[in-house]
Amino acid sequence: MHCTNFHIPTMVYDPEYDQDEFFARRCILVNGPVIVGAGPSGLAVGAGLKQQGVPFVILDRANCIASLWQNQTYDRLKLHLPKQFCQLPYFPFPPDFPEYPTKYQFIGYLESYNKHFDINPKFNESVQSANYDETCGLWRVRTVTTNGLMRGEVEYISRWLVVATGENAEKVVPEFEGLEEFGGRVMHACDYRSGEGYEGKRVLVVGCGNSGMEVSLDLCHHNASPSMVVRSSVHVLPREILRKSTFELAVAMMKWLPIKVVDKIMLVSARLVLGNVEKYGLKRPSMGPLQLKNTEGKTPVLDIGALQKIRSGQIKIVPGIKRFSRGWVEFVNGETLEIDSVILATGYCSNVPSWLKENGFFSTQGFPIAPFPNGWKGKAGIYAVGFTRRGLSGASLDAMRVAQDIGKIWKEETRHKKHSVAVALACHRRCKTHL
Ligand SMILES: Cc1cc2nc3c(=O)[nH]c(=O)nc-3n(C[C@H](O)[C@H](O)[C@H](O)COP(=O)(O)OP(=O)(O)OC[C@H]3O[C@@H](n4cnc5c(N)ncnc54)[C@H](O)[C@@H]3O)c2cc1C
Ligand SMILES: NC(=O)C1=CN([C@@H]2O[C@H](COP(=O)(O)OP(=O)(O)OC[C@H]3O[C@@H](n4cnc5c(N)ncnc54)[C@H](OP(=O)(O)O)[C@@H]3O)[C@@H](O)[C@H]2O)C=CC1
Ligand SMILES: O=C(O)C(=O)Cc1c[nH]c2ccccc12
């Protein structure tokens, strides 16, 4: 796509003065980078840029920051890594936070972070496409804005594009034979808030990652009867070993030992603390838990109580699903089970391939192709933050690198040109000459 699709009116974006909302179609030249996503990753990049005086625009499809945390998680959720691995750069958690903050505490912290750095994302702006326009050397990011009844299209034009839409941007909803005739309540784990309303119900929880385990546990707390589908294998680790965070121990050991050895130690320790989990139907993968996380992104389960319920039989383990029918499910081993509801804890995926038109930086799965630690920067001013499958600490690391890199280029350019807006306008003029 070239500049032929350039829509007027065109404005220079000034963060001090947010222009009116009257135009249904607008084109905004951004002085600084466009950041897509106002989750922890996007906010952390924003903070790093603010500190260096670099202007930017953050766009989010939702109407709030950290929408994954605010709109798509259950009430009982707590961070499952200790707090020091989850805080964002330059602004620590309050000292009275517990070791594993609740989601409400984490959201409160992110709100303070947003306020403290005056990040000011633009909400209700869903990015539909982004492409690099070689004729003018700029990124063109198109959004659909939904603001009450108002719907508009905006094109943001920028030197830099920071992708911060997350590893969990879309829910994965597999197709199952017969599900349409099942008849009971079916929802994805991202829409599950609590077991209220499930009392006495037989619930099939599909998937045994952290979501499947914790939803099943929450259902037990609400006197429901969950059966959890384990179709392949899963690593379950205790959240703590001898009162020390398992994750923290693993991070410490990784400084001295190869990952394979650390995995062995993890598995021996897990066996000592949890016993043999395979006898409950929780088959372990052949690859160790950290290696599996690093190579395939599959997060080990950090157990916070589900295993005890599996042992006691309150959570039943069932095999893969063959098909559904009215009021029941048939498994691959031919057995059937009567159920009232289904919760799909079947995971999430990146949505980058659906909107980013480029070749070579992102894979078809929506993750940077270059392996860690080289996937944060691409060619022509594109960056990725929060795609290293290393949780919030990985996102923070990316964010600091990206903000520093953009800040460095920005400072070099503003030293040479009198005013950064003049630079943007010059680019803009160059772009328009190609119309
Ligand atoms: C239930 C759950 C619990 C977790 N717990 C932990 C934990 O304890 N510790 C840990 O380290 N990690 C945890 N994670 C991993 C989680 O991915 C990170 O914590 C964190 O949310 C990643 O931040 P992010 O900003 O990269 O992505 P997100 O938080 O997903 O934010 C991405 C933002 O991009 C926006 N967006 C997406 N597509 C578009 C588009 N096309 N246009 C505009 N905006 C868009 C979304 O609305 C969203 O606000 C958890 C994940 C889940 C699902
Ligand atoms: N407290 C916390 O901090 C929590 C953190 N999280 C994090 O959120 C992220 C997402 O976790 P989660 O939502 O559990 O997703 P995961 O991707 O980790 O797990 C998805 C599960 O669904 C199963 N599955 C997928 N498709 C099917 C199918 N067709 N039939 C049967 N089973 C299927 C997978 O099985 P298979 O392996 O065979 O493909 C797997 O067990 C993770 O990083 C996790 O750590 C989640 C919840 C709580
Ligand atoms: O909870 C998540 O989704 C995370 O990605 C956190 C995380 C990063 N590395 C890990 C290794 C083991 C368990 C959790 C994590």
Tokens of 205: 């929880």
100 lines ligand 3 (CB under 6 A): no
Tell whether the model's pLDDT for residue 20 goes beyond 80: no
Kindly give the number of the ligand 1 atom that is closest to the alpha carbon of 165: 34
Q: What ipTM score was computed for the predicted complex, to two decimals?
A: 0.98
Q: For residue 183, how far is its CA from the centre of ligand 2 (angstroms)? A: 24
Kindly give the number of the ligand 2 atom that is closest to the alpha carbon of 391: 43
Q: For residue 346, how far is its CA from the centre of ligand 2 (angstroms)? A: 5
Q: For residue 137, how far is its CA from the centre of ligand 2 (angstroms)? A: 40
Check residue 12 and give its pLDDT. 46
Q: What's the pLDDT tens digit per position in 209-241?
A: 999 999 999 999 999 999 999 999 999 999 999
Tokens of 92: 């620590």
Q: For residue 235, how far is its CA from the centre of ligand 3 (angstroms)? A: 12
Contact of 351 with 167, CB cutoff 8 Å? no
Q: What's the pLDDT tens digit per position in 346-384?
A: 999 999 999 999 889 999 999 999 999 999 999 999 999
Residues whose CB falls within 8 Å of the CB of residue 387, separated by 6 or more in sequence, listed in order = 163, 167, 350, 367, 368, 375, 398
Q: For residue 362, how far is its CA from the centre of ligand 1 (angstroms)? A: 18
- Give residue for tokens 């680019």: 427
Please, which contacts does 269-276 make with residues 24 or more away whose CB atoms are closer than 8 Å?
269/238, 269/241, 270/235, 270/236, 270/237, 270/238, 273/238, 273/241, 274/236, 274/237, 274/238, 274/303, 274/307
Kindly give the number of the ligand 3 atom that is closest to the alpha carbon of 293: 11
Residues whose CB falls within 8 Å of the CB of residue 138, separated by 6 or more in sequence, listed in order = 132, 157, 158, 159, 427, 431
Handedness of CA 355, 357, 359, 364 (dihedral sign): positive
Tell whether the model's pLDDT for residue 9 goes beyond 80: no
Q: What's the pLDDT tens digit per position in 96-147?
A: 999 999 999 999 999 999 999 999 999 999 999 999 999 999 999 999 987 7
Percent of the chain with pLDDT over 70: 90
Instruction: Indicate the top mutation candidate among 63, 165, 192 to test ligand 1's pocket, ranked by most ligand atoms within 8 A of CB.
Output: 165
Q: Give CA angle at 377 (376, 380), nearest 5°.
A: 155
Quote the CA–CA distance of 182 and 432 in Å, as a whole number.
Answer: 57
79 lines ligand 2 (CB under 6 A): yes
Q: What's the pLDDT tens digit per position in 374-393?
A: 999 999 999 999 999 999 99
Residue closest by Cα to atom 1 of ligand 3: 391
- Residues pairing with 341 in the sheet: 185, 203
Tell whether the model's pLDDT for residue 313 goes beyond 70: yes
Taking the model in full, what pTM does it have?
0.93
Q: For residue 414, how far is its CA from the centre of ligand 1 (angstroms)? A: 33
